Structure 1
């Protein structure tokens, strides 16, 4: 059973190993890649609370800034793997019950004297603004973009088009709005009618639905492990 993975290459390779262990045949098709962008350290250091939106946010921030410089601040990770990466840096992050902007908002609401806190969100340039909309007028919250997501044209583009056209891809996985948006730039979205589609996260789900595509699989917990568990339940 073939599963097409659209995430960035190094992440796709890790996902491929998880899928192979479960008996799937992964096809790596990275529609995005990441590039670091310069940022102002002061924007991070002046914050009382620092939110990391992803593992990449951790990676690119600490290419420039030492973890020790934020060890006295409240740190929030939006998911388990992001939290583990922060722990490896010697930090002790808080984690929301639900890995989403709404989950982070609920967690922030429990912090005393929040209205007098400054919050920095470490994220990509093209990050979604849901959390900022939820926190509007409640505190000083601002983004600190540390990397950007750019379109990638995979070397196996022609091969994947043929596989999709002939119905030989059983499932396509989108892990972010960017993976999907760049996918439909290089491949006609009508080809997704020939396969099932899985997504991680409500933001990715909304990006697909905006284009008239309803995902077949959405895990309740937004992790790759949970997604693969759902795929096994529904496809096998």
Structure 2
């Protein structure tokens, strides 16, 4: 327990089931945390588990770009395939993963990702997959319904056989809008954190027309999230870590706190 963030109030906007790590790391450093989930994760309706299971069996390589994708795949197949059996079958596939949390989630299941890019973005993931695969291999990409087309475009351009299946969706969560507005109206927050473009858009949709305090800062994970936020606020108000992880985000907030005294 340290006090490097004492006196700083930070808003955690991640989905309820994902807030724990960020809140804990911030509080361990002395920050006051406001948990304000602005998005939630939902399954995609209408997916046929049997069809998706066959796609998994036929794939040579499976790409996971988030912990949500890992969980969504297992949840989708749970009604028709024993979970332990499915996990065991994934161990025999070539697995690509982006992000330390995604890699960690897979390893906890005993699944060792073979293809992991040095930088956690679609461009570097595509490069790593292309370098590690041939055009004959079949690639399955279970993804978010809101995923950008970057990975698809780069893999298709390289001639890879790619099957994409949206297995989950992120939607705006307005349950705490009144609380959000109250916090902002009373200038009760110093830093708002975002881990996805979806959270950025949800925040500004819910706080539309509000004038924010001039000293309110925003901390983000990832270049795409930063780009989304840049459409709403001046870049000088954005805190961006060098490493696109929760730990990197907290470190960047610490550096901001030091720089402002």
Alignment TM-score, normalising by the size of structure 1: 0.91
Superposed CA offset, 1:146-183 (max 9, x none): 2111221133x323323223322100111001111111
CA–CA distance in 2 between the matches of 1:193 and 1:130?
Answer: 35
Query: Which residue of 1 is the match for residue 74 of structure 2?
Result: 62
Superposed CA offset, 1:179-231 (max 9, x none): 11111221126544541011101111111223454352111111001110110
Query: Which residue of 2 is the match for residue 52 of structure 1?
Result: 64
Alignment of 1:123 onto 2:131: no
Please state whether the residue corresponding to 1:75 is helix, strand or coil: strand
Give the unaligned 5+ runs of structure 2.
1-7
Which residue, out of 150, 166, 170, partners 1:145? 166
Query: Which residue of 1 is the match for residue 4 of structure 2?
Result: none
Query: Which residue of 2 is the match for residue 95 of structure 1?
Result: 116
Give the unaligned 5+ runs of structure 1.
none
CA–CA distance in 2 between the matches of 1:217 and 1:147?
Answer: 28
Alignment of 1:154 onto 2:175: yes
CA apart distance, 1:108: 1.4
Greater alpha carbon shift after TM alignment, 184-193 vs 132-141: 184-193
Alignment of 1:188 onto 2:195: no
Query: Which residue of 1 is the match for residue 100 of structure 2?
Result: 80
Q: Which protein has the larger Cα radius of gyration, Structure 1 or Structure 2?
A: 2
Alignment of 1:233 onto 2:245: no
CA–CA distance in 2 between the matches of 1:106 and 1:83?
Answer: 17
Which residue, out of 125, 149, 157, partners 1:104? 125
Aligned length: 234
